[in-house]
Structure 1
Amino acid sequence: MSHPSETLRGKRVLVTAGTKGLGKATVELFLELGARVLTCARTAPVDAPQASFVKADLTTLEGCEQLAGEVERQLGGVDVIVHVLGGSSAPAGGFAALGEAHWQQELDLNLLPAVRLDRVLLPGMLAQGGGVIVHVTSIQHQLPLPEATTAYAAAKAALSTYSKSLSKEVAPKGVRVVRVAPGWIETEASVALAERLASEAGTDYEGGKRIIMQALGGIPLGRPASPKEVANVIGFVASPAAAAVTGTEFVVDGGTVPTA
């Protein structure tokens, strides 16, 4: 069996949204494992890991096509694709607060970039007879919060269903497709949210974290996951150690989802 540090050595890896949070942790891990990594974001990083970087807006077809072209130009193809890009800017207020533009924004951010990049890059994986695609979904597709995450959760549910269907199509041809579904991750954005909630409630940061955990229905582990902890799961499913794993979803939520 290969040493863990050798499992991805020399592999060509694309990680979307790899300059902050989970994306940055994932890029750092793959670099540690010896991979050649290309990542992207809408703005150039200030202190990102030493990976190749492409400035691209993946919420547009043009941005996805630009990135796919850079994958071919800089890496000469790809062995692993990790679709980290996602998030939500939709307002709170339930279904009535979500207009046409909000719904389209959620789909443009959480579903269509993966669909578009796979459509361009997957044929190369099939031609080489192997590869791994990791779609980062969310426990929200099982546990949506009606007040604030309806559109986001629906888009992630669509991504999950697309991923499952794709896995059934391409597994016989040597390409594995796996989903990783995080719960609450303690990223820069979530830290800012906890601090804002703490300020509004007149409490400290730990109190702000408890407010978020209560909104999620509780986290039995008692804390959010770190970006590195979720990245470690992504690294495992992308590695030869998970060679028989495809079409499934790995939940990393500290026990938040109450059913299996």
Structure 2
Amino acid sequence: MSGWIDLAGQRALVTGGSKGVGQAVVAALRAGGAKVMTSARSRPDDLPADVAFCAADLSSAEGCAALADAARETMDGVDILVNVVGGSTSPGGGFGVLTDDLWAREINQNLMAAVRLDRALVPGMVARGAGVVIHVTSIQSQLPLPESTIAYAAAKAALSAYSKALSKEVTPKGVRVMRVSPGWIETEASVALAERLAEQAGTDFAGGKKIIMDSLGGIPLGRPAKPQEVADLIAFLASPRAASITGTEFVIDGGTIPTV
């Protein structure tokens, strides 16, 4: 990676960096030479010694404020902000089972974490006249799954719209804002889901993966994306090689979305 992009001297904050895509993004930005800080609810055992860490629950305003303060104290500001943290914990059962509390939880985790961190840290980028913000959205903002991810999909759609508006405001001031929209990614959580579905259906792991792909309408590539593949895209967008790219969304879904 270090021969492909140059992020030397850049200060990067990656949320949700303890596993999955976030962990891969931390590794990719480190390899490019950036000084990296990350967060999760608890410190991972395998965190590299040179990566700064702040334990924070980013679904709360207090957690976001604590992380922003830690980034300013530890790195004296942020040049690259990658909002990875997100996910869905709502039960299946469609719209009728989604209480106000469940809606609030999904929105706080998938929308407001990014909004609050941007509000705290982007003004510093604007003051310096340079910076990069990358929001990890989801193809479910376009392809929601009504059985179990309505609130998650709606929150990610809101994040996408907010990100576009932010880019129009701060790009003229030197701050690039982009969205990366993954489809199904083969993380530890998704592997566990495939295994659980396989057990319920009386099939093997490959059969469990097929159940998930079929629920998405199929993945023409024939497999989910790897976390490293998503991280490589994010590292490129954060680098000077993407200096003229802003305000747009990059879909990395193996062809899942069937429309232009």
TM-score (norm 2): 0.98
1:258 counterpart residue number: 258
Deviations 1:131-178 (A, max 9, x none): 000000000000001111110000000000000000000010000000
C-alpha distance in 2 between matches for 1:254 and 1:34: 29
In structure 2, the partner of 1:37 is 36
Runs (4+) of structure 1 exceeding 3 A deviation are none
2 CA distance for matches of 1:136 and 1:32? 20
Specify the alignment match of 1:185 in structure 2: 185
1:44-81: per-residue Cα shift (whole Å, max 9, x none)?
11112341111111111111111001111110111000
* Partners of 1:17 and 1:84 within 8 A in 2: yes
Q: State the distance in 2 between where 1:207 and 1:10 align.
A: 46
Q: What is the match of residue 142 of structure 1?
A: 142
Q: 1:49 to 1:182 in 2, by over 3 A?
A: farther
The corresponding residue for 1:22 is 21
Cα-to-partner distance string for 1:72-102 (whole Å, 9 max, x where unaligned): 1110111000000000000111100111111
State the Cα distance separating 1:3 from its structure 2 match: 4.5
CA distance in 2 between partners of 1:258 and 1:46 (Å) = 40
Whichever residue aligns with residue 139 of structure 1, its letter is I
- Does the alignment pair 1:103 with 2:87? no
Match of 1:247 in 2: 247
Q: What amino acid maps onto 1:133 in structure 2?
A: V
Matched residue, 2:209: 209
Percent sequence identity is: 62
Name the CA distance, whole Å, in 2 between partners of 1:64 and 1:86.
13
3-state secondary structure, aligned to 1:111: helix
8 A Cα contact 1:141 1:157, kept in partner: yes
Q: Distance in 1 between matches of 2:234 and 2:48?
A: 17
Q: TM-score, normalised by structure 1?
A: 0.98
1:199-221 per-position Cα deviation (integer Å, ceiling 9, x unaligned): 11111111100000000000000
Q: In structure 1, what is the Cα distance between the partners aligned to 2:236 and 2:149?
A: 29
Are the equivalent residues in 2 in contact too, given 1:24–1:49 (CA < 8 A)? no
Question: SS of the counterpart of 1:38?
Answer: strand
Question: Which structure 1 residue ranges, 5 or more long, are not aligned?
Answer: none
